[in-house]
Amino acid sequence: MFGVELIMSEMTIEFTHPVPDKLLCQIGDITASFSVLERSIQDLAWCLISRNLRVGQIVTAELSLKNLRVLVINLYKGIYGQNDELKKLCDLMKKSSMLEEKRNQIIHSEWSIGRTINEVKRIKRTAKQKSGLNFQIENLTESDLKNIAKDLRVLATKIHLFSGTTIKINLYRKS
């Protein structure tokens, strides 16, 4: 059954999954690295909203990442207008959208045995009215998963750097 083994021992029945520990660790890294990216966008929003951190936290607490991106871009436009840094910000937010999609593909998939012991098969089923039932199947290695997590962390760093330099520079320009 797609690499799932039923284990019965002393009154406990549990399903196991086919994902080797080293690959499972990388999926966990993607999850943790995504939260780092999300936090970097929240931090940027907090800088733009108010010098009072608590106000920023209240405003962003329940926002999805998509809505955080919209908020950050609109706050930036409202405060600083159209400038070269806005294009940089939009590019960063576009990259975060693409990485969020990759993360969602990983987190919201089924897993099966890969072609070798060093990979797993990601399976995603969709059933849309227009196209009907579709399967997206992809074999992933430890390196593939590591690269997604690394890309999330690198982008989070770029957003922090944008926040730390561009926002401060613009604050001084507005003064």
What pLDDT does 47 receive? 87
Q: What pTM value is reported for the model? A: 0.85
**42 CB-near residues (< 8 Å, 6+ apart):** 56, 57, 60, 68
Asked whether the beta carbons of 162 and 89 are under 8 A apart, the reply is: yes
SS3 10: coil
- pLDDT category at 1 given cuts 50, 70, 90 is very low
Contacts of 58 (CB under 8 A, 6+ apart): none
Q: What percent of the chain has pLDDT over 90?
A: 69
Predicted pLDDT at 16: 79
Residue 48 forms part of a structural domain:
yes
* H or E segment and range at residue 73: helix 65-80
Spell out the residues 6+ positions from residue 7 whose beta carbon is closer than 8 angstroms to its own.
Answer: 13, 14, 15, 16
Residues facing 126 on adjacent strands = 134
Q: Give the pLDDT of residue 151.
A: 98
pLDDT tens per residue across span 22-73: 999 999 999 999 999 999 999 999 989 877 788 989 999 999 999 999 999 9
Q: What's the confidence (pLDDT) of residue 171?
A: 53
Number of domains in the chain: 1
Q: Is the dihedral of CA 170, 156, 63, 50 positive or negative?
A: negative
Calculate the average pLDDT of the chain: 89
In a domain? residue 4: no
Q: Is 5 among the domain residues?
A: no
- Domain coverage including residue 140: 19-174
Q: How far apart are CA 17 and CA 101, in angstroms?
A: 23
Least confident of 23-27, 112-116, 139-143: 112-116
